[in-house]
């Protein structure tokens, strides 16, 4: 769901994501939302998660040998154009108003830059600001900007543009404005210094500023934000074809260290998996991201022509139990038994082996992560013991229903049903249209067990909200999370989040089946393409392609 902003969520509202991946609803799969984000964002968060999974499930025709080197010269020199195949296409470029993770993915770090940025380890790094300090009380952040910055039109970029951009976001409630609810004021104290004052400490502020809330715009520029983009990054948008492609051109006025290594990058969006795979095979594209691990085998086996690699991300396949009073799954023994009964290694192996085990609500790239996989190891005897205490056995099985959207396919439900049957649980798998899931599970909370890919980073806040569809209410978790957000050091924040996450996992309000990892295939000769988190942030300035002779 969404980060502090969204579920892979960024969420899309289309019901059949497998055939339509180009709507902004489907883009919502990676939007960034703040921990304070309220119920109105849950929908986007959840929808996005479903979308990305659906989109990735595809890619089913495969190839052998790659390419005609159409994007490159024939003498072994680096090509002046690299073409990248992606899945989620934006319907317009208005990053201030249009929801959808596809905009963040392609525009942030390439065309628009933020006060700070994020690297592929999900850590905050300098960008427009070269350095910053935080006051001891956590209420004042002072940012020192780089010298000599310009926008792509040649206009000077200074502290006034930074302060104006963030204040405009708050005043006009542009997308993700609620992520800055704790901000009291933003001021340019001089041409190279910006001061942000908070109403109360927010340990997630810097990370939040790596997304849309921290983007800096030219306050004097005039352009059509839906079809054009004017920023300070290493690329400009040379051409935009709705739901089809974006052509990026190196910004000849770029001021910083991330100068584009390839003059032109063409991003093509494929809704048809066969077309995408054939494009990589023929050399029409040099990169495909994502591609499912199982279906990537032909490319993986052809090491002379392709590289296939899985990257880390923040997707969490959450099998949530309805924790509300009166539900069978309100019994902690039953929830624990289910967790013990699941063979996570088997699930991961059946998907190709790229995913990672995840024993709790915080993935490895988020603050507060701790390896909690040892809390509920695969132990059928322990599962049977707990179920017996609750009055169930293989002769008198517990009947439960797992409800999830059809975009995830049926295999995972079949595997879970088989595994739980071994310990005395008769699991009915109810695969439904996403609109039905949304109404029954998310809105009405009428379910036993559900399954959704919550992909957003920094989304632990969900477990501190008893009104969220999980129905999970733990006052100590809520207290620890609030203390973590109000922490004035990363160390204190991480300790509080980790303590809270361990409590959540021990309570077993869900089982985290695995940390889903995105697999990318590239033609040999492609260098500098980011594998980690490339469905969320996709910096392209380092990308080059040198075809073999």
CATH for 272: 3.40.190.10
The DSSP code sequence of 264-282 is: EEEEEE-S-HHHHHHHHHH
Number of H helices, E strands in the chain: 14, 18
Q: Identify the three-state secondary structure at position 149.
A: coil
506, with CB counted inside 10 A (0-12, 13-18, 19+), is middle
DSSP at 460: G
Q: Which residues pair with 215 in a beta bridge?
A: 114
Cis peptide before 290 (omega within 30 of 0): yes
Alpha helices in 328-474 (DSSP H): 332-341, 344-350, 380-389, 411-421, 434-437
- N residues, the chain: 549
Q: b/e for 44-83, b at 16 or more Cβ within 10 A?
A: bbbbbbbbbbbbbbbbeebbeebbebebbeeeeebbeebb
Residue 199 lies in a domain: yes
Q: For residue 377, give its domain range.
A: 316-515
Q: b/e for 408-446, b at 16 or more Cβ within 10 A?
A: beeebbebbbebbeebbbebebbbeebeebbebbbeebe
Are 457 and 4 within 8 A, CB to CB? Answer: yes
Q: Identify the three-state secondary structure at position 157.
A: coil
Instruction: Determine the angle formed by the axes of helices 332-341 and 380-389, rounding to 10 degrees.
Output: 160
Are 540 and 112 within 8 A, CB to CB? Answer: no
The tens digit of pLDDT for each residue in 454-481 reads 888 999 999 999 999 999 999 999 999 9
Same domain, 404 and 363: yes
Same domain, 320 and 399: yes
Residue 436 lies in a domain: yes
Same domain, 388 and 505: yes
> Closest by alpha carbon to 240, among 249, 228, 251?
228
Are 71 and 84 within 8 A, CB to CB? Answer: no
Residue 36 lies in a domain: no
> Closest by alpha carbon to 497, among 484, 509, 506?
484
What whole-number distance in Å separates Cα of residue 474 and Cα of residue 361?
14
Residue 22 lies in a domain: no
pLDDT 10s per residue in the chain (549 long)? 332 333 333 333 222 332 222 222 332 333 233 333 433 444 444 444 444 444 444 444 333 333 344 444 556 799 999 999 999 899 999 999 998 889 999 999 999 999 999 999 999 999 999 999 999 999 999 999 999 999 999 999 999 999 999 999 999 999 999 999 999 999 999 999 999 999 999 999 999 999 999 999 999 999 999 999 999 999 999 999 999 999 999 999 999 999 999 999 999 999 888 889 999 999 999 999 998 777 798 999 999 999 999 999 999 999 999 999 999 999 999 999 999 999 999 999 999 899 999 999 999 999 999 999 999 999 999 999 999 999 999 999 999 999 999 888 899 999 999 999 999 999 999 999 989 999 999 999 999 999 998 888 999 999 999 999 999 999 999 999 999 999 999 999 999 999 999 999 999 999 999 999 999 999 999 999 999 999 889 999 999 999 986
> Closest by alpha carbon to 316, among 45, 93, 77?
45
Alpha helices in 79-217 (DSSP H): 101-107, 159-171, 205-208
Alpha helices in 123-272 (DSSP H): 159-171, 205-208
What whole-number distance in Å separates Cα of residue 290 and Cα of residue 308?
10
Same domain, 206 and 251: no
What whole-number distance in Å separates Cα of residue 515 and Cα of residue 25?
23
Same domain, 340 and 471: yes
> What domain count does the chain have?
3
Same domain, 503 and 375: yes
The tens digit of pLDDT for each residue in 54-71 reads 444 444 433 333 334 444
Residue 228 lies in a domain: no
Same domain, 469 and 358: yes
Same domain, 187 and 299: no
Place of tokens 């910096």: 539
- The domain that holds 183 is classified in CATH as 3.90.76.10
Residue 61 lies in a domain: no
Residue 45 lies in a domain: no
Same domain, 333 and 367: yes
Chain-centroid distance of CA 106 in Å reads 13
Residues 6+ apart with CB under 8 A from 349: none
Q: Identify the three-state secondary structure at position 198.
A: strand
Q: Identify the three-state secondary structure at position 394.
A: coil
Same domain, 337 and 452: yes
Residue 342 CB: number of other CB atoms within 10 A? 21
Residue 77 lies in a domain: no
Q: Which uninterrupted H or E stretch holds 496?
A: helix 490-507
Same domain, 511 and 527: no
The HSE-up count of residue 30 (CA atoms within 13 Å, CB side) is 27
Are 300 and 306 within 8 A, CB to CB? Answer: yes
The last residue of a domain, from among 214, 243, 264: 214
Same domain, 343 and 367: yes
Q: Which residues pair with 311 in a beta bridge?
A: 518
């Amino acid at each position: 769901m969404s980060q502090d902003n969204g579920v892979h969520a960024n969420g899309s509202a289309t019901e059949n994501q497998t055939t339509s991946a180009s709507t902004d609803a489907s883009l919502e799969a990676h939007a960034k939302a703040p921990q304070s984000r309220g119920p109105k964002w849950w929908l986007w968060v959840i929808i996005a998660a479903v979308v990305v999974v659906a989109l990735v499930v595809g890619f089913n025709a495969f190839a052998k040998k790659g390419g005609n080197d159409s994007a490159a010269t024939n003498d072994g020199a680096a090509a002046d154009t690299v073409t990248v195949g992606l899945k989620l296409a934006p319907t317009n470029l208005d990053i201030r108003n249009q929801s959808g993770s596809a905009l963040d993915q392609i525009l942030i770090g390439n065309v628009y830059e933020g006060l700070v940025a994020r690297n592929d380890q999900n850590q905050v790094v300098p960008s427009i600001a070269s350095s910053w300090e935080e006051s001891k009380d956590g209420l004042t952040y002072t940012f020192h900007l780089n010298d000599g910055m310009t926008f792509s039109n040649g206009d000077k970029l200074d502290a006034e543009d930074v302060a104006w951009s963030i204040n405009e976001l708050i005043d006009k409630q542009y997308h993700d404005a609620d992520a800055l609810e704790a901000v009291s004021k933003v001021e340019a104290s001089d041409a190279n210094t910006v001061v942000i004052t908070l109403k109360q400490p927010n340990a997630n502020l810097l990370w939040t500023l790596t997304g849309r809330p921290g983007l800096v715009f030219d306050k004097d520029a005039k352009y059509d934000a839906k079809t054009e983009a004017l920023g300070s990054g290493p690329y400009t948008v040379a051409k935009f074809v709705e739901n089809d492609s974006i052509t990026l051109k190196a910004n000849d006025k770029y001021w910083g260290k991330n100068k584009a290594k390839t003059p032109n990058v063409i991003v093509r969006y494929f809704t048809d998996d066969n077309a995408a795979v054939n494009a990589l095979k023929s050399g029409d594209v040099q990169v495909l991201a994502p591609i499912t691990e199982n279906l990537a085998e032909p490319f993986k086996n052809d090491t002379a022509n392709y590289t296939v690699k899985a990257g880390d991300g923040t997707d969490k396949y959450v099998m949530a139990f309805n924790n509300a009073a009166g539900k069978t799954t309100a019994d902690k023994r039953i929830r624990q038994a289910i967790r013990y009964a699941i063979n996570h290694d088997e699930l991961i192996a059946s998907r190709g082996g790229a995913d990672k085990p995840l024993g709790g609500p915080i993935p490895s790239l988020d603050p507060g992560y701790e390896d909690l996989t040892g809390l509920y190891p695969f132990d059928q005897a322990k599962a049977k013991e707990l179920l017996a205490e609750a009055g169930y056995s293989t002769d008198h099985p517990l009947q439960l229903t797992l409800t999830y959207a059809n975009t995830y396919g049926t295999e995972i439900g079949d595997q879970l049903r088989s595994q739980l049957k071994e310990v005395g649980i008769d699991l009915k798998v109810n695969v439904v249209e996403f609109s039905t899931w949304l109404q029954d599970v998310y809105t009405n909370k009428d379910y036993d067990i559900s399954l959704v890919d919550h992909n957003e980073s920094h989304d632990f806040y969900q477990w501190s909200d008893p009104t969220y569809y999980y129905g999970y209410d733990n006052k100590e978790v809520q207290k620890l999370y609030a203390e973590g957000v109000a922490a004035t050091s990363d160390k204190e924040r991480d300790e509080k989040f980790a303590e809270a996450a361990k409590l959540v996992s021990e309570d077993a309000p869900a089982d985290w089946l695995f940390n889903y990892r995105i697999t990318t295939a590239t033609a040999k000769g492609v260098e500098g393409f980011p594998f980690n988190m490339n469905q969320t942030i996709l910096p392209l300035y380092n990308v080059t392609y040198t075809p073999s002779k």
